[in-house]
Structure 1
Amino acid sequence: MAAFRQVPVAPHRKERHFRLKDDLSLNLSNEELRERYRFGRDGINFISNLVSDDITRKTKRNHALTVPQMVMVTLRFLTTGIFLQVVGDTIGVYLHGTEWWMGKWCTAGDSGYPCRPFLMTPYQNPVLDHQKKYNRCHCSTRSVIERTFGRLKRRFHILHSEIRMIPSKACKIIMACAILHNICILLNEPDIEDDGLVIDNDGDLGDRFFGNQDGRGVRDHISSTFFNR
């Protein structure tokens, strides 16, 4: 009679139950919530109500994440900039691609960019008065933009360095941060401490671009039309 070797049976894995440690049901102060998620309790509730119809889980599973939980997971990811899996381990939830939500603009640039019909850069060596006036206006406009970028990056650290996702998802993350920043302004959420960003007198922050500058005709038209007075 042939001998049969018994094949070991893998032990049944006990189903894991995850609980959001910092849920709204806990007595965290608004300051503690803002430190973690950049929004107080009213702000998190506002966002949850805003996106509820789009992200409510269409499932009868007992352990599906609630809308506030998904909102808080996403805010924590945008606030810290760390990997989603690490966010899940820290907060105490299992994350996969469907368990968190993400949202469904002539531009002024410094001399590190090429002058394009859609991207206006400053004159590198302005001589005429209207060119100098154009540069001063360009600098003041970009100062507002750079301060806004600084506020965004201080609020959502995911924007401080590379976003390790495919370009389409990175664009959604940037757009989501901009929308959330506007909500912060709407709800009078406090700004994060200033990091001391300084704009140079000529409005440049990077190296100059010396390649093709096919937008110089548009720039000359703008400066001579609106600044030659």
Structure 2
Amino acid sequence: MAHQQDQPQAQLRQVRNYRPRRNVLEELDDTDLIKRYRLDREGIEFVTDMLRGALESATSRSMAISPELKVIITLRYLATGKMQQCSGDDLGLSQPSISRVIKQTVEALASPAITTRIIKFPRSRIDIQRTQNEFMQIANFPGVVGIVDGTHIRIVAPTEYEEEYVNRKHYHSINTQIVFDANYKILDVVANWPGSTHDARILRHSGLLRLFETNMVPAGCHLLGDSAYPCKRWLLTPYLRPLAGAQEAYNRAHKRTRCVVERGIGQLKRRFHVLHGEVRVSPQKTCKIILACAVLYNICKDRHIHIPEEDLLDENAAEDVEDRGRNEDAPAGVPEDGLRFRDHFVNLHFAVED
């Protein structure tokens, strides 16, 4: 009998009190949404619909976290780099729940199904020609379909293989290869190498190299890269000691055009501050965060969503510092074919007429 009387009390003790959840999509206008979450209302709804299948709860309990709220929480984290900011927004979730939500949403954003849908290298004749024309408007450099560079995303010292993540600037990082078009949209990103890895090695093992060397991208299309990369028929690098005339003209046009990637990386990090400071999760999780930010960055570009004004200041400063001295890291044994092709290309397109 006593057992039967205690049972209702045990059930009462199991009743949970839920904090009320804000609906920021109703409370905030687009300006405030962009400032806090980097997307406007329609953009947040677009991302939510894209991820809904992966984010919907398997249970039908009344207080299940909606896909919309999961996206909003994750956007807040990526925009600030501070998980406590998500709690500060009073979205009605505990810190452990916020952590689980961010992990689930980042994994959905970084999945191959989403990344290949949002991040695409131009392959059709029309897309390639348009991209080349847009690059020509910058400094009259012909045939360019993308600018490639590496950027280091700072991470907390990992517990395993710690020394492999120390880069040449002596901090722990993920070395990320990234390609931009002339409109600062990401065409390709590789985020799975520790900071000590040389840019040339990342390229050598990337799908980008296979695209060009298996002729999936037609001849006459070029990437531009700095002197950390080997010079190839499809990857043109600057002269370290240019001769007066055509080579100097080539270097000037190369430098002006290549500024796109430095500015693009600056915009990516300013839009998503999680990439601007130290990411305090494992390297594996950091790689997924980088991909998630690249996906969201391209969505912002496609939807013409601006960077909030306070985040535009000094957007290139970090990349300018990081890029200095890269010529000292030029890989040895650059194939002669690439160098000969560069000389031919320069004489064909940059020769100064008497």
Please state which band the TM-score falls in when normalised by the shorter chain.
0.7 to 0.9
Match of 2:345 in 1: 226
Aligned to 1:158: 274
Q: Structure 2: where are the runs of 5+ without partners?
A: 1-12, 112-187, 189-208, 210-222, 349-354
- Cα 1:114–1:65 change in 2 (3 A) is same
Shift of 1:178: 1.8
- The AA in structure 1 aligned to 2:82 is I
Counterpart for residue 32 of structure 2: 32
Alignment length (residue pairs): 212
Counterpart pick for 2:304 among 188, 194, 207 = 188
- Larger helix proportion, structure 1 or 2? 2
Match of 2:261 among 126, 145, 153: 145
Question: Is residue 82 of structure 1 aligned with residue 86 of structure 2?
Answer: no
Query: In 2 relative to 1, CA 96–53 (structure 1 residues): closer, same or farther, beyond 3 Å?
Result: same
Q: 1:128 to 1:77 in 2, by over 3 A?
A: same
Residues 121-132 of structure 1: matches in 2 within 5 Å? 121-127=237-243, 129-132=245-248
| More displaced 10-residue stretch of structure 1: 208-217 or 31-40 | 208-217
- TM-score of the aligned structures, taking structure 2 as reference length: 0.52
The 1:158/1:98 distance shift into structure 2, 3 A limit, reads closer
Structure showing greater radius of gyration is: 1
SS of match in other structure, 1:15: coil
Which stretch has the larger CA shift, 97-106 or 27-36? 97-106
Moved more, 13-22 or 183-192: 13-22
Q: Residue by residue, what CA displacement relative to the aligned partner does 1:116-137 show, whole Å, maximum 9, x if unpaired?
A: 7697643222126454344233
Secondary structure of the residue aligned to 1:97 is helix
* Alignment of structure 1 residues 25-104 onto 2, 5 Å: 26-83=26-83, 86-90=84-88, 91-93=91-93, 94-97=97-100, 100-102=104-106, 103=109, 104=111
> What letter is aligned with 2:260?
V
Residue 109 of structure 1, CA deviation: 4.2
- Which one has more relative contact order, counting CA pairs under 8 Å at least 6 apart? 1
Q: Distance in 2 between matches of 1:97 and 1:145?
A: 33
Residues in 2 aligned to 1:16 and 1:217: alpha-carbon distance in whole angstroms: 71
Any conservation in 2 of the 1:73–1:87 contact (CA below 8 Å)? no
- 1:205 lines up with 2:206 in the alignment: no
Residue 105 of structure 2 aligns to a residue whose secondary structure is: coil
| Residue 177 in structure 1 maps to residue 293 in structure 2 | yes
Q: Contact 1:33/1:40 (CA < 8 Å) preserved in 2?
A: yes
- One-letter amino acid of the counterpart of residue 65, structure 1: I
Question: SS where residue 63 of structure 2 aligns?
Answer: coil
Higher share of residues assigned strand: 2
Q: Secondary structure at the match of 2:65?
A: coil
Q: After the TM superposition, which of the residue ranges 65-74 and 161-170 deviates more from structure 2?
A: 161-170
Q: Check the 8 A contact 1:20/1:92 in 2, yes or no.
A: yes
Aligned 8 A contact 1:82 1:158 in 2: yes
Structure 2 CA distance for partners of 1:211 and 1:226, relative to 1, 3 Å: closer
Give the TM-score normalised by structure 1. Answer: 0.76
Equivalent-residue separation in structure 2 for 1:163 and 1:108 (angstroms): 29
In structure 1, what is the equivalent of residue 333 of structure 2? Answer: 214
Q: List per-residue Cα deviations over 1:87-112 (Å, max 9, x = no partner).
A: 4422331324356412203664445x
Q: 1:59 to 1:213 in 2, by over 3 A?
A: farther
The whole-number CA distance in structure 1 between the counterparts of 2:301 and 2:239 is 34
**Is contact 1:108–1:138 with CA below 8 Å preserved after alignment?**
yes
Instruction: State the Cα distance separating 1:68 from its structure 2 match.
Output: 0.6
